[in-house]
Amino acid sequence: MVSTRRQFLKGTVAGSGLASLNLASIKSHAAFTAATETGLKDLYAKDFKIGTAISGANMRAADPKFMGLIAKEFNAITMENNMKWERLNPEQGKWDWEIPDKFMAFGASQNMYILGHVLVWHSQVPDWVFKNAKGKDINARKLKARMVDHIEQLAGRYKGKISAWDVLNEAVDEGNGWRKSPWFNIIGPKFVDLAFNTAHEIDPNAHLIYNDYNMHNPDKRDFVVKMVRDLKKRGVPIQGIGMQGHVALDYPSIKELEDSIKAFAAEGMRVHITELDVDVLPAAWDHIGAEISTNFEYSDQLNPYTKGLPAEIEAKLASRYSDLFKLFLKYRDDIERVTFWGTGDKESWKNDFPVRGRTNYPLLFDREYKRKPCYDAVAALKK
């Protein structure tokens, strides 16, 4: 068994690029080791945590087979939407804790690293947070009070139970400095200090993260590095940077991702690879990003794989995931966790973003939660 496994690794993974990943060999190896295979969390136990985001629908259903898969494969979990403001606190004074409580109980039962997502964000926030009864922006004093109350309610409810918080999400614009969100426009840049300081006061043991997409972008990277330095100078508690991993088969480059990992780690930040998925579909008008308000018109040309993923694209996907995890392993001492944005292809947000109604294949498990060749490529790096 050992010699066969070594031969597989030598022939399919040790090299780089598509040629090093033979799809037939991956499938053969997967079948060969099926009886003894463990979850990804076990394979990467000495490197970093392996996580997934769980949807509200899956959490509500709590299907034993699905939850068993989560427990076997992952040791970190994120609530996909139900800790966001519009789901949790849609009306002033009205809170819905059902799904978050179930999520927390499941994570605790499996002794998982639980990521709270998210305390402060410009998207998926109900209008009442920023507006008065006449539809006008409230003043800075009132908005600060609403932010503090929200963090006290949410972080306070799960104090001592949450491993880490995405305190602030997507507050930086591409090449334009601060995003001109209602938080920034009403309070100013010190809203960042308020968010982190409040989260730390409420739960001093939670690991506090700034999370954003396109963190490979040099302008965004440099701005975030400066932000971290400024926050630390003022004594603001920030310990981690989340690099959203919404990538494609051919962008961004491994070097761009590596440069950002190195830059954030150099500032003393724990690096989190968050929301990882690999888009295999044609780019919509060269759209790159994760701003959820973006949407493009559907066309068949942008949805070519409705009947299944061609073997050539499947192999490219496996190669891409292999290259990404080689990079993550290179910086295992700086990376806290790698979290996928979903578990199976059917539930992925990439089916509807940035074009609604497409059939995408961005994750390690297929629409029936069966392991794909890209799963086996990631697993093979540790065997």
Provide the annotated active-site residues.
170, 275
What is the residue whose two structure tokens read 């539809």? 135
Cα(260)–Cα(124) distance, rounded to whole angstroms?
Answer: 27
- Side chain identity, residue 9: L
Contacts of 307 (CB under 8 A, 6+ apart): none
Give the other-Cβ count within 10 Å of 142's Cβ: 14
Q: In sequence order, what DSSP letters do the residues of 219-282 get, joined into one string?
A: HHHHHHHHHHHHHHHTT----EEEEEEEEESS-S-HHHHHHHHHHHHHTTPEEEEEEEEEE-SP
Nearest C-alpha neighbor of 30 from the set 68, 4, 67, 64: 4
Cα(153)–Cα(198) distance, rounded to whole angstroms?
Answer: 11
SS3 64: helix
What is the residue whose two structure tokens read 């496994």? 5
Give the other-Cβ count within 10 Å of 256's Cβ: 15
Q: How far out from the chain centre does Cα 194 lie?
A: 24
Cα(231)–Cα(203) distance, rounded to whole angstroms?
Answer: 18
Residues in the chain: 383
The count of C-alpha atoms lying within 13 angstroms of the C-alpha of 263, restricted to the half-sphere facing its C-beta, is: 23
Residues pairing with 242 in the sheet: 211, 272
Q: Check residue 268 and give left, alpha or beta (phi > 0: left; psi -120 to 50: alpha).
A: left
Beta strands in 101-252 (DSSP E): 113-121, 164-169, 172-173, 177-178, 207-212, 240-248
- Burial per residue of 259-297, b for 16 or more beta-carbon CB atoms within 10 angstroms, e otherwise: ebbebbbebebbbbbbbbbbbbbbebeeebebbeeeeee
